[in-house]
Amino acid sequence: MPELPEVETIKRTLTPCLREQKIARVEVYHPGVIAAPDPETFSRLLAGRIITGLDRRGKYLLVHLSGEYCLVVHLRMTGRLVFTEGAAPLAPHTHVVFSLAGGPSLRFVDTRRFGRLYLAAKAEVETLPGLRDLGPEPLDPAFDALALAAILAGRRRPIKQVLLDQRLVAGIGNIYADEMLFAAGIDPRRPAASLNHEEVARLRGAMQRVLEQGIANRGTSIRDYVDGSGRQGSNQEHLQVYGRTGRPCPRCGQPLERVRLGGRSTHFCPRCQV
């Protein structure tokens, strides 16, 4: 679930809690969530390191560590990364606990266990499977209409599927893809290359507005998402189309529709989105 705005919110809420903190020890309760290296090496290499800062790349969270190491986290659907003061009991589905010097801990909780943690040397982070081929950041000032046009050029796949392809643009998931296409008034099924200049410019603006609104609202909490302090976001109260099949379009009143596109539920207004 966590898309760009959620991961960005987690980064912002965790940063003041984790910066300059020392990892005392690491307990792995479910080895399957550690992608690399093997869980024993993972714990051993982390112990004693200082957290120097956090970054986000697409839906990946990067925890920078002393000694030129980096903890890379992808939360996939139901993963949570929560800072906990003191010795609160472990929530169900807690798979990894990073105990910090002085008592608090960072906990990785994931019902479906799709999330993955990597420990890598800083230099090798860019070569990790998902990160290696990651597309540009949509909130980067360099991501202008021209950059988007270059990505869409020649692609016959539906525009929504292009937005969801992490190799083409980083960080967009199913919720925000539907919302930005509604904001831009573009039918999600349109071939990407069929958008004219004006539509590309509109879409680029909608992408940035929708993502920035998601961040301003501290993420969308439909089911599992909470930020680094365990708090829900409020962007679910501002969704225009996602999960609102059959309800009136907020712009024209026409009932919103749902179709399946590339295996994903897709919500849109059949009148406003052309």
Partner DNA sequence: ATCGTAACCTGTCTGC
Partner DNA sequence: TGCAGACAGGTTACGA
Residues forming the site for DNA (CB under 7 A): 1-3, 6, 32, 58-59, 74, 76-77, 92-93, 111-114, 129-130, 154-158, 161, 164, 166, 173-175, 220-225, 262-265
8 is catalytic: no
Q: Least distance from C-beta 50 to DNA, angstroms?
A: 28
Distance CA 251, CA 256 (A): 11
| Active-site residue, selected from the candidate residues 76, 264, 270, 271 | 264
Any idea of the CA torsion for 136, 141, 145, 150, to the nearest 10 degrees?
Answer: -30
Residues within the annotated binding site? 93, 112, 155
Cβ count within 10 A of residue 248: 12
Residue identified by tokens 């990597």 is 118
Q: Which SS3 state, helix, strand or coil, does residue 245 take?
A: coil
59 is catalytic: yes
126 is catalytic: no
264 is catalytic: yes
Sort 243 into a burial class: Cβ within 10 Å, 0-12 / 13-18 / 19+: middle
Q: Least distance from C-beta 242 to DNA, angstroms?
A: 8
Nearer to DNA, 138 or 158 (CB): 158
Q: Least distance from C-beta 29 to DNA, angstroms?
A: 12
Nearer to DNA, 65 or 75 (CB): 75
Angle among Cα 141, 157, 75 to the nearest 5 degrees reads 60
Nearer to DNA, 23 or 125 (CB): 125
Distance CA 2, CA 108 (A): 14
Q: Are 239 and 93 in contact (CB under 8 A)?
A: no
Q: Are 196 and 49 in contact (CB under 8 A)?
A: no
Q: Least distance from C-beta 23 to DNA, angstroms?
A: 25
Nearer to DNA, 89 or 92 (CB): 92
Residues within the annotated binding site for DNA? 93, 112, 155
Q: Which residues are catalytic?
A: 2-3, 59, 264
